[in-house]
Structure 1
Amino acid sequence: MKKIAFIALSLIVFAGYSCKDTKKEKEQTDTNSTVKTEQYSIVKDSTKVSFVAYKTIEKKPVGGTFTKINITKSTTGSTAMEALNGTTFSIPVSSLFTNDATGTRDPKLLEFFFGVMKDTELISGVFKTEANNTCSIDITLNGETANIPLTFEATSDNSYTFNGVMDLKEWNALDAVASLNKACEVLHTGADGVSKTWSEVAVKAEVLLEKK
């Protein structure tokens, strides 16, 4: 009888410890589940956008920037790409700056290139990411929307650089290219005596994100 009572007492004590361990594990799991993961978000006033256009048959580069970029919609995410997905932006064309010492290039671009397009007060776009870690932007220009595939690299923990190439024929903007070429005919004439303005433009964006 004593032996049976001892066994019963042992089972009760064991069960008590098991319940305590289970409760402790549950409390630890609940605590871990409430830990928030860090979230990325874009630093809105830090984005930089630049471009390189080309002239003459030798394809001489002409670089420039847009000094104002408006982030019109942004999100957060557990990764940088997740946070950037769906980000929308607009760029006032009046913020064009090519650092031309003569002061004549920017007015020509605004008048003879952007000025002959439709709805060109702003260039607008949306950033898109895919499951395979590729990304692109949909750009609206001249009343048309087309996609630019992008390559990217992380330049620091929270800073990313994106590069792509837009062919202006995708935005039905070849008339604007021809208009600019005519206005800059002499300056865009190469060694072959032919004036040429290329429709391809390299675009670059530098984006800074923060973690919270």
Structure 2
Amino acid sequence: MMRFAALMMSLSLTVACSPEPSSAHAKAKAPAEPAKAEAPVANCTYTVSDAKPGWTAYKFTEKAPVAGTFTTFKMSEAASAASLTDALKGITMEIDGASIESGNPARNITVSSLYFGKFTPTPQIKGAVVSATGDDQKGTVVINIGMNGVSKDVEFAYTVSAEGALQAKATMEMKDFSLQGAFDSIHAACQGLHTGKDGVAKTWTDVALLVDASVKKACK
């Protein structure tokens, strides 16, 4: 009887001191969630076309704008690419500076002959995109501009609207293209017309450049 009591006491102590079953074993493992399928990546191509050059010159001390375009220009054939920046690279354009259109026939003749007429060897302007960074909404594009025997890279900032209208803007200095002679010629011819209320005849040497184009985006 004493042995039986001792055996029962030993068994009860063993059970009482045994560790609780771990929760990992006590609970059944939840089934793993199925992996979510990745969203398909759109395969898109971009095409740039219908590029049109524009400009804005300034007169008077308060810097009043005089804007215009050119009527004779030619853009290279548009190519499609997997990104807008790649589609922009390599685009070229040739512009006949003498074909200026400012909305004023008399001014057109004056600027054509007394400004662009002073370019050497011809009033032709050439542009070529050498690099582009950004996305299909905004970025920068570097255009090598050649005129009056000088070639220089000019950085344009571009934006693209939801409708695909691209607009690139930059500013150039006439002196960077050795245009002092052309500037002196047009300033002298327009001195009276460029005299403001303060009595000062002012023709500015910086010119705003503009390129408008269309971007077509096609995705599969």
Band of TM-score, shorter chain: 0.7 to 0.9
Question: What is the aligned partner in structure 1 of residue 94 from structure 2?
Answer: 90
Q: Distance in 1 between matches of 2:132 and 2:84?
A: 13
Question: What is the aligned partner in structure 2 of residue 182 from structure 1?
Answer: 188
Q: Which has the larger radius of gyration?
A: 2
Q: Distance in 1 between matches of 2:215 and 2:156?
A: 18
Query: Are the equivalent residues in 1 in contact too, given 2:160–2:166 (CA < 8 A)?
Result: yes
- 1:125 correspondence with 2:127: yes
Letter in 1 for 2:178: N
Question: What is the aligned partner in structure 1 of residue 5 from structure 2?
Answer: none
Deviation at 1:124, TM superposition (A): 0.5
| Residues paired across the two proteins, number | 174
- 1:53 correspondence with 2:43: no
Query: Are the equivalent residues in 2 in contact too, given 1:165–1:203 (CA < 8 A)?
Result: yes
Q: Distance in 1 between matches of 2:82 and 2:163?
A: 14
Question: What is the aligned partner in structure 2 of residue 104 from structure 1?
Answer: 106
SS at match of 1:81: helix
Deviation at 1:196, TM superposition (A): 1.8
Larger strand proportion, structure 1 or 2?
Answer: 2
Question: What is the aligned partner in structure 2 of residue 192 from structure 1?
Answer: 198
Q: Distance in 2 between matches of 1:65 and 1:202?
A: 12
Q: Distance in 2 between matches of 1:167 and 1:160?
A: 24
Q: Distance in 2 between matches of 1:95 and 1:156?
A: 32
Cα RMSD for the two superposed structures: 2.1
Q: Distance in 2 between matches of 1:99 and 1:170?
A: 27
Q: Distance in 2 between matches of 1:108 and 1:58?
A: 23
Q: How much identity, in percent, do the aligned residues show?
A: 28
Deviations 1:89-118 (A, max 9, x none): 101123311011xx2100000111011111
TM-score, reference length from structure 2: 0.72
Query: Are the equivalent residues in 2 in contact too, given 1:41–1:76 (CA < 8 A)?
Result: yes
Q: Distance in 2 between matches of 1:195 and 1:183?
A: 11
Question: What is the aligned partner in structure 2 of residue 164 from structure 1?
Answer: 170
Q: Distance in 2 between matches of 1:182 and 1:141?
A: 22
Query: Are the equivalent residues in 2 in contact too, given 1:48–1:67 (CA < 8 A)?
Result: no
TM-score, reference length from structure 1: 0.75
SS at match of 2:153: strand
CA shift in 2, pair 1:125/1:52, >3 Å: same
Unpaired segments of 5 or more residues in structure 2?
1-39
CA shift in 2, pair 1:65/1:131, >3 Å: closer
